[in-house]
Amino acid sequence: MKYVYGPVKSRRLGFSLGITTVPYKVCSFDCVYCQLSKTTEKIMARKEYVDEKDILAEVRAFFKNKPDDLKVDCITFSGSGEPTLNSRLGRLIKGVREITGIPVVLITNSSLLVEPEVRRQAAGVDLIIPSLDAVTQDVFEEIDRPVKGSNVSKIIDSLIEFKKIFKGRMWLEIMLVRGINDGESYLRKIKKVVDKIKPDRVQINSPVRPPAEKWVKPPSVATLKKARQIFGENCDIV
Ligand code: SF4
């Protein structure tokens, strides 16, 4: 199969069947910590990068042939690029729901949520895991290296907006990189923004797999403990 993979055992999601909606490393960011290597096509333009029918045909074939004892806890739009770049995301989510009642998850870098149509399409999932690594433009550009014109204040506003209309759950993911966004005062700045977004959970992540840039290091254990303390009860270190 080209677009459906797994199910992969994930600490957060259980057995997750992944769906990729764009070719390898087509993304609006080029994060310094990306475990997939450098972005090959940094872009904000949405289109049907992969044919909706081909993806849904694979999902159908997977469930037709799935052994009864193979566990699938969720279907996750994620993969090797930014899934919301596929303009058919809304139809894909609907199509998956017609095939199976298993919960649908979207993992996104949040950049395209600035577009109302993307928010409308993304609202069709049960759980969204958007990332927000920075709350100031300079740190945003340093860590996520976004496509030109991407503005972190607008992304924050769109996350606030999205959470108000979204009926599912939101787990906000923050990747901490040593020396960039893991200082105590910066963590407190992020916390202020998180309080406005009001996600159901905050998930603090660290780059543990080989990153795109060799100099990227995870935060210290003491920093992770501090982050846990700052973000409080709703926070998981993943
Ligand atoms: S948003 Fe995800 S896929 Fe894109 S560069 Fe960052 S980590 Fe890699």
Strand partners, 203: 173, 236
pLDDT of residue 211: 92
Query: What pTM, to 2 d.p., does this model score?
Result: 0.97
pLDDT of residue 79: 78
pLDDT of residue 17: 98
SS3 (DSSP) at 87: coil
- Indicate if ligand 1 lies below 6 Å from the C-beta of 39: yes
Centre of ligand 1 to C-alpha 68, Å, is 34
Would you call the peptide bond into 7 cis, given omega within 30 degrees of 0 as the criterion? yes
Domains and CATH numbers, the chain: 4-237 (3.20.20.70)
Q: What is the pLDDT along the chain (238 residues), one digit of tens a residue?
A: 999 999 999 989 999 999 999 999 999 999 999 999 889 889 999 999 999 999 999 999 999 999 999 999 999 999 789 999 999 999 999 999 999 999 999 999 999 999 999 999 999 999 999 999 999 999 999 999 999 999 999 999 999 999 999 999 999 999 999 999 999 999 999 999 999 999 999 999 999 889 999 999 999 999 999 999 999 989 999 8
Nearest ligand 1 atom, CA 81 = 3
| Alpha carbon distance 186, 135 (integer Å) | 9
Residue with the smallest CA separation from ligand 1 atom 3 is 81
Residue 139 CA to its chain's centroid (Å): 19
- Indicate if ligand 1 lies below 6 Å from the C-beta of 36: yes
- Indicate if ligand 1 lies below 6 Å from the C-beta of 27: yes
- Indicate if ligand 1 lies below 6 Å from the C-beta of 34: yes
Strand ranges (E), the chain:
4-10, 14-20, 26-27, 41-42, 74-78, 104-108, 127-130, 169-175, 201-205, 235-237
With the most atoms of ligand 1 within 8 angstroms of its CB, the residue from 21, 31, 44, 78 to mutate is: 31
pLDDT of residue 169: 98
pLDDT of residue 11: 87
Q: By C-alpha distance, which of 186, 227, 4, 220 is closest to 102? A: 4
- Indicate if ligand 1 lies below 6 Å from the C-beta of 31: yes
- Quote the Cα angle for 46-177-174, to 5°: 55
pLDDT of residue 126: 98
pLDDT of residue 40: 84
pLDDT of residue 15: 98
Question: Phi, psi (5° rounding) for residue 9?
Answer: -75, 125
